[in-house]
Amino acid sequence: MTLSMDHPSVDHPTSTGTALRIRRIGGRLGAAVEGVRLSADLPDEVIARIRAAILEHKVVFFPGQSHLDDTSHPGFAARLGRLTTAHPTLSGHTSRILQLASRGGQSASSWHTDVTFTDRPPAFSVLRGVTIPDYGGHTLWANTETAYERLPEPLRKLADRLWAVHTNTYDYAAYSDAYRTEEDEPHRRSEFTRVEYRTEHPAVRVHPETGKRSLLLGHFFERFVGLNSDESRELFKIFQARITKPENTVRWAWTPGDVAIWDNRATQHYATNDFDQPREVRRVTVAGDVPVSINGEQSRVLSGDATDFANLDDLIS
């Protein structure tokens, strides 16, 4: 099911009487959806239209979903597919919900795609605003499909052939607890890296649902296979700059109860580090498949077993 992007705002009535109003908010990605109360009890037809909107717009926003809590949030997310655990290594969270709490400007202030250090990054991330500062703390998303499509031909041909190693030597979640102190940092760092994950991904992956190609990079990138560190770093900057060009992004100013859902296979995101008040968002992720290159080759595990995070044998087709 495809939702047209030709118009800035489109109503989508359903047979159950639910009228989804989808309003584009960015030129290359992003839409706000009104007229729906997110829950696990939504009709299949409404869930199908929400899923189609995510695939079409890459990230969709649902304002005013304050009724969701730590039970109903994963209950709704499970309608989009099999859920992962909260995180491959971090503890101290519920089994499905990753709590991202910060104060004083500590946040995920680097461009990334979630959990690419494993061979099975999530398909969708469902993020709920819990505590939002009076100002700042916005989140930005970038479209990795249009970034690939708009590469000059020489860069596109180069990207098609590249493979990259991703690793969990750093992760924002390990540094974003509201009650973190400097004394906690070594423990949190140790916890995040208690299992070393290293995975070779194609720099260009093919989307399993849409068939579109996108750049698979972000801050878990370590190096390109066959290139040294300096060469990898310079080439990474070229591709990453294409992804994060301002016209290739969309920005969301949170209010409490907002929900953002994005296609983790076609986006990167970035939380701005420009606030000095408490901020907490909570994330549930829907399991994804192993990325596939344009030649049909799957990503390769170098170290770390992510089966406990997402068992691919249990995925809903």
Contact 35, 20 (CB under 8 A): yes
Residues involved in catalysis: 112, 114, 269, 283
Burial of 163 (0-12, 13-18, 19+ CB in 10 A): middle
- The pLDDT, as a whole number, for residue 181 is 38
Contact 291, 216 (CB under 8 A): yes
Helix (H) or strand (E) holding 57: helix 44-57
- For the ranges 109-118, 173-182, 195-204, 217-226, the lowest mean pLDDT is seen at 173-182
Does the predicted TM-score (pTM) go above 0.85?
A: yes
Write out pLDDT tens, residues 141-156. 999 999 999 999 999 9
In order of start, what are the domains of the chain with their CATH numbers?
Answer: 9-310 (3.60.130.10)
The residues, any chain, with a CB within 8 Å of residue 286's CB and separated by 6 or more, are 77, 78, 80, 81, 82, 83, 84, 122, 123, 124, 125, 126
Q: How far is CA 213 from CA 92, 145, 151, in A?
A: 36, 6, 12
Write out pLDDT tens, residues 249-286. 999 999 999 999 999 999 999 999 999 999 999 999 99
- Burial code (b: 16+ CB inside 10 Å, e: under 16) for 218-230 equals bbbbbbbeeeeee
pLDDT band at 313 (very low <50, low <70, confident <90, very high): confident
